[in-house]
Each structure stands twice: as C-alpha cells, then as structure tokens.
C-alpha cells in the first residue's frame, strides 16, 4: 500500500521543513516525495533535519508544477485548514487512509501539502478529488508542515497494517490527473464555442464542474466517452 502513496510539497520555503517531512515519512514507511518548485533544495539544513532519512531526500523528485507531480495519480487529495467558498468533499485523515488502503491496489495516490504561510491555492485545491482537514483546536488550527505530514503518514501506516486490503472490483482504472485535466480543458473549449461559458462572467462554472466530475470519479473508459461526446459536439458546431 505505502509504496503507491506520494507526498507532494508545494513551494516549501524553509529547507528544514523538507527534511522534517522526509523524516516523518520514513518513520511511517513512506518513501515517495515530490517537491514542487521548492525555494531552497538541495540544502544542508534539509539534510540536517532529515536525520537518518536522507535517502528520502536523495530520491526526491523535484518538479516545476503540480500538474507534473500528480499526472499519473488516480486519487489526489489536498490538505486544507479552512473551508473554501465552494465546498468540496471532505475527509478526515482516518477516512482518507481507509480510502487509500482500498485504492492503492489499483492506482497511485497523491497527498498535497501547501506553502507554510498560505497553504494551497484555490486552483490547486480544485485539482483534488477530496480535501483533508486534520481535526485541531479551532482557536489555533495551523499545524507545522512536518507535523501535518506526520499525522497523515501515521494514519496511512495504521491502515496499511490491516491484514487484507479490500480491493474494489472495477473494469477500468480511474482516470488519472493528466487525463482529467485534458478533459476539463476540452470541456472548457467546447463550452466557449457554444457560448455557454462567458469569459467575462465565468461565475465559478469551471470550479463547480470540476467538483462534479471529481466527485463522480470517472474511469478511463468513461473519460474517453465524455471526450467522444465533446468531439461530436464540436463537429456539429462546425456544420
């Protein structure tokens, strides 16, 4: 289970937090770390804070953007400390770990952590199937980055030790992030051609459609069907 789970840190500003996150991962048996445009990495402070988890840093993937980090993942979740303007399906860390336990049999899972000061942007959160909120003191709910990583990794570790993971029987794999983004862009283009989507007054339409399709969890065949429908619509528009 754990080898198919990816921890993604976005724009981390302090290299010590990267090292501490790597240490949190290794203590719970996770190994795959992706760093999206870190401010300082590699860096001696990251190695110092990683302690004996330096191997996680050596094998960490440094990528330029979130799209690259999660392109091949079929389940993407983002951590958030606050409720957004458009509500998104929420999971507790324990609920997420149980879901990951089932889904890692057939797909890669990514957990995204945002910047130390500002977290994840709305655009980044809208690329997730679910959001995770760690239960905490409502008067002081901000966790240190490495502490948040530790909580999630702990729950994943506990879930992984259940004797027999339950596998979902399904005929096609879930569409991954790259396939979902291709569909969303195709949908946006067609809605513009239909004059249904107004660039001057979008009214958060694409955000709500993202929420709808991420909640539906389409598989690869279903995405292909949806893209086929959009292709047919485009042909008829040209006629």
Instruction: Tell me what the mean pLDDT of segment 129-157 comes to.
Output: 93
Average pLDDT, the chain: 94
Please give the domain boundaries of the chain with CATH numbers for all domains.
2-160 (3.40.1280.10), 177-238 (1.10.8.590)
pLDDT digits 0-9 by tens, 93-105: 999 999 999 999 8
Q: What is the structure's pLDDT at 32? A: 98
Grouping H, G, I as helix, E, B as strand and the rest as coil, residue 84 is coil
Grouping H, G, I as helix, E, B as strand and the rest as coil, residue 148 is helix
Give me 8's structure tokens.
Answer: 């993604």
Distance of CA 91 to the CA centre of its chain: 13
Give me 139's structure tokens.
Answer: 């008067």
Cβ pair 58, 32 in contact under 8 A: no
Q: What is the structure's pLDDT at 164? A: 61
- Nearest in space to 78 (alpha carbons), one of 180, 174, 8: 8
Grouping H, G, I as helix, E, B as strand and the rest as coil, residue 124 is helix
218, pLDDT greater than 80 = yes
**Which residues contact residue 234 at a Cβ distance below 8 angstroms, ignoring those fewer than 6 apart?**
190, 193
Give me 181's structure tokens.
Answer: 């983004």
Instruction: Tell me what the mean pLDDT of segment 28-37 comes to.
Output: 98
Q: What is the structure's pLDDT at 168? A: 62
pLDDT digits 0-9 by tens, 21-32: 999 999 999 999
Q: What is the structure's pLDDT at 163? A: 67
Instruction: Tell me what the mean pLDDT of segment 122-127 comes to.
Output: 95
Measured between alpha carbons, how far is 22 from 99 in angstroms, rounded to an integer?
23
Measured between alpha carbons, how far is 73 from 106 in angstroms, rounded to an integer?
10
Measured between alpha carbons, how far is 1 from 28 in angstroms, rounded to an integer?
12
pLDDT digits 0-9 by tens, 159-205: 999 866 555 678 999 999 999 999 999 999 999 999 999 888 777 99
Band of pLDDT at residue 67, cut at 50, 70 and 90: very high
Residue 95 CB coordination number (10 Å)? 13
């Amino acid at each position: 289970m754990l080898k198919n789970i990816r921890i993604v840190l976005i724009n981390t500003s302090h290299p010590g937090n990267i090292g501490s996150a790597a240490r949190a991962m290794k203590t719970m048996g996770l190994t795959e770390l992706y760093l999206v445009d870190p401010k300082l990495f590699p860096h001696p402070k990251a190695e110092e804070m990683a302690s004996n988890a330096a191997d996680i840093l050596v094998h960490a993937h440094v990528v330029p953007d979130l799209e690259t980090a999660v392109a091949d993942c079929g389940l993407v979740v983002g951590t958030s400390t606050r409720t957004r303007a458009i509500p998104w399906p929420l999971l507790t860390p324990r609920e997420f770990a149980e879901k990951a336990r089932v889904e890692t049999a057939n797909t890669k899972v990514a957990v995204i952590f945002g910047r130390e000061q500002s977290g994840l942007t709305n655009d980044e959160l809208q690329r997730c199937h679910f959001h995770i909120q760690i239960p905490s003191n409502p008067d002081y709910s901000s966790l240190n980055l490495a502490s948040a990583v530790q909580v999630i990794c702990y729950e994943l570790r506990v879930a992984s030790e259940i004797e027999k993971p339950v596998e979902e029987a399904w005929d096609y794999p879930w569409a991954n992030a790259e396939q979902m983004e291709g569909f969303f862009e195709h949908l946006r283009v067609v809605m513009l051609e239909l004059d249904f989507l107004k660039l001057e007054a979008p009214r958060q339409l694409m955000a709500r459609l993202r929420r709808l399709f991420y909640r539906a969890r389409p598989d690869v065949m279903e995405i292909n069907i949806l893209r086929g429908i959009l292709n047919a619509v485009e042909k008829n528009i040209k006629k």
